[in-house]
Structure 1
Amino acid sequence: MENEIANTIANKVAEEAAKGFFERVFALYNSFIIIFPVQYQWVVSAIIFLAIAGFMWNLIRRNWLWLILLVVVFPGVLPILKNIFDSLSRMFIGK
């Protein structure tokens, strides 16, 4: 019995360690956005996207070296954009 518990815990830790950075970002974003009703998820995603874009613009405007940070952070914004366009297409097309 003790070995089963230890193996289960070890397997869970190994799965989390094997996850990449972007998988964690996607999982975190999905766990946050699921709180909101489906019809409002695109609005929340748009607000998050605009906040991140505004933050990045202020950083880049002050110092161009922050452009490197934008290149690193941009893939984390992809799930937000995907949700916005998926929600808008469901709203207008109905699929």
Structure 2
Amino acid sequence: MSSTSPRYPPPGGYPPRPPTIDDLAARAVVSQDNRIPIKSLLKTADNWRNRGQSYEEQYDLQNAFVAYASAGKLALEVIASHPDYDKALSEEQKSSLAKVKR
């Protein structure tokens, strides 16, 4: 008789599968409202980045990914297409965003 156990679910069933990258990315939802002042959006993106760092320090990598993805989406999709983008951001800020977009 083989020493391997039969292929039956363990008592209590199988643990849930970990979320995929697509699952986590779907949780990174940001508002596309261009009426929000761009400075507020920049502050929100910075808050998401800080939250990601905090999660990362706690080894909560799933929530860190979601927070970093939220910051990235906000910076690269919402802020970069905001009507006040050219007026409100300094050249240094625009350059920083352009480097990230590459």
TM-score class, shorter:
0.3 to 0.5
**Higher normalized contact order (CA 8 Å, seq sep 6+, divided by chain length):** 1
TM-score (norm 2): 0.39
Higher Cα radius of gyration: 2
Q: TM-score, normalised by structure 1?
A: 0.40
